[in-house]
Amino acid sequence: MNKVLYSLIITMLMAACSDNSQEKPYIRKPVTIDIQKTAAWDGFIKTNETENDCKDFVLTRKDVNEFFMVAQEETERAYSQSQVMSRCFTEGELTLPRKYKAKWRIDRARRGILMVENDQTYFFYCDSCGSRKYAERR
């Protein structure tokens, strides 16, 4: 009887400690990166940046990979209420492990968003991204 009870407890603990890896894709290692727009300008965000200011915000696949590898995940609230925003952005699509597809956008203010096909959205800020293409840190 004790063995059955201990087995049941261990099974419950293992289930409680699992990371639900089937539900949440591993978002830190893009397998493929496709850049669809770069040096783009967003007319909906209110900053002093002009379309001409965005011409030099051109991210490479290496830059995008670095961003998602080192950026800190934020809450949607922190992301949307950030005082620092940029009209300049690069965006595209990527493939994650387990064949998940995602759309992404990174702006010059070091903010990024990753929208995975399973209706999961992740928000990022990359204080550690070293490229000179980005604006000054927050």
pLDDT for 99 equals 83
Asked if the structure places residue 102 within a domain, the reply is: yes
pLDDT, one tens digit for every residue, the chain (138 residues): 555 444 444 444 344 344 444 444 567 788 899 999 999 999 888 888 889 999 999 999 999 999 998 999 999 999 888 778 899 999 999 998 888 899 999 999 999 999 998 888 999 999 888 777 887 765
The Cα-based distances of 87 to 18, 39, 48, 116 in angstroms read 40, 10, 9, 23
Asked if the structure places residue 15 within a domain, the reply is: no
Cα(136)–Cα(75) distance, integer angstroms: 21
Asked if the structure places residue 137 within a domain, the reply is: no
Query: What domain count does the chain have?
Result: 1
Range of the domain at 59: 25-125
Residue in the structure block whose two tokens are 């040096």 = 39
Question: How much is the pTM?
Answer: 0.77
Asked if the structure places residue 120 within a domain, the reply is: yes
